[in-house]
A and B are shown apart, each in its own frame.
Chain A
Amino acid sequence: MNGKDQLLFNIGVVDFTMVDLGLFLDAHPTDQKALEYYQHYAQIKKQLCREFGKKYYPLTMAEADSDKKWSWGDAPLPWEGGCA
């Protein structure tokens, strides 16, 4: 795996943890341990996405850099393969 694929893979792992914890918290909103885990991973995800957007391409439209050219369309589409 190259640096880009590894970073995207890590974002996928962290985000999946958040999705799963999110559903758990929907049904157990006062579970302190789950709340701590969620906040921990949310922080990591934010950092990783920012790093990915800066180095490679924006994962969300909000991160698209529109300085000289709209960069949102530069990102490969998820179904092309080769990206996590």
Chain B
Amino acid sequence: MWNYEKRLQFPVNIKEPNAKLAQIIISQYDGPDGEMGASMRYLSQRYAMPCREIGGLLTDIGTEELAHLEMVATIIHQLTRNLSMEEIERSGFDKYYVDHTLGIWPQAAGGVPFNACEFQSKGDVITDLSEDMAAEQKARTTYDNILRLIKEPDVCEPIKFLREREIVHYQRFGEALRMATDKLNEKNFYAFNPGFDKCENSNGSF
């Protein structure tokens, strides 16, 4: 179940269209480390979590990622609304425009469409949380790369906010991984999959 609030998680008010920036930033809508993949990853993984606390954290971070997806789409929308035909041709936006006009469609900066293979849902708490920590760092690196390419303050501010959230999520997933290993036999965390195998390697908490 979800509810919607008609507002953004962080303000996005971009005055000047700039199709060149839009083509870069669309990678975080859904390129390989974008917000759509992030949200779908956490919301898909949570069903196989062997404990309630971690399933709850995945729900909450997956939900926040939906708010980020909306922010990135808003940035792209505001960077492309009111574009002239001349700007569309000059900026190289013509290749996107021919298929989507000024609509928002999930693709990477290089034109590769969104694909569920950009994330994994492995049904193993340690495997999945390790992927989640890597995913947050990959998204942080992408935002760092974006911030080296853009200077406009009204675009940079929401991007900086999104970058900060990757760091916080990484910290929380690290804590979730520790919660998981605290419930396992510390001599061998990787002996089995606590979400599937029922064996004695758990310390009894799973």
Contacts and interface: CB of A to CB of B under 8 A. Distances in A.
Interface of A: 8-9, 11-12, 15-16, 19-20, 22-24, 26-29, 57-62, 75-79, 81-84
Contact of A81 (B12, B64, B169): B12
A8 B12 CA distance: 13
Interface in B150-178: 168-169, 172, 175-176
B168 A20 contact: yes
The SS class assigned to the B binding surface is helix
Contacts of A77: 6
A40 to B, nearest CB: 19
Instruction: Find the residue from B3, B8, B10, B176 having the highest chain A CB count within 10 A.
Output: B8
Contacts of A12: 7-11
A60 to B, nearest CB: 6
Contact of A26 (B4, B13, B172): B172
Contact of B13 (A20, A27, A29, A82): A82
A83 B176 CA distance: 35
Contacts of A16: 9-10
The SS class assigned to the A binding surface is helix
Given A59-B5, A77-B6, A23 B172 contact: yes
A58 B4 CA distance: 11
Given A27-B57, A27-B172, A79-B70, A8 B179 contact: no
A12 B172 CA distance: 22
Interface of B: 3-14, 53, 56-57, 60-61, 64, 70, 73-74, 77-78, 168-169, 172, 175-176, 179
B70 A19 contact: no
Contacts of A84: 7-8, 10-11
Given A23-B168, A26-B57, A27-B175, A60 B4 contact: yes
29 contacts: A11-B7, A12-B7, A12-B8, A12-B10, A12-B11, A15-B5, A16-B10, A19-B9, A24-B172, A26-B53, A26-B60, A27-B179, A28-B175, A57-B6, A59-B5, A59-B6, A60-B5, A60-B6, A62-B3, A76-B6, A78-B74, A79-B73, A79-B74, A79-B77, A81-B12, A81-B13, A84-B8, A84-B10, A84-B11
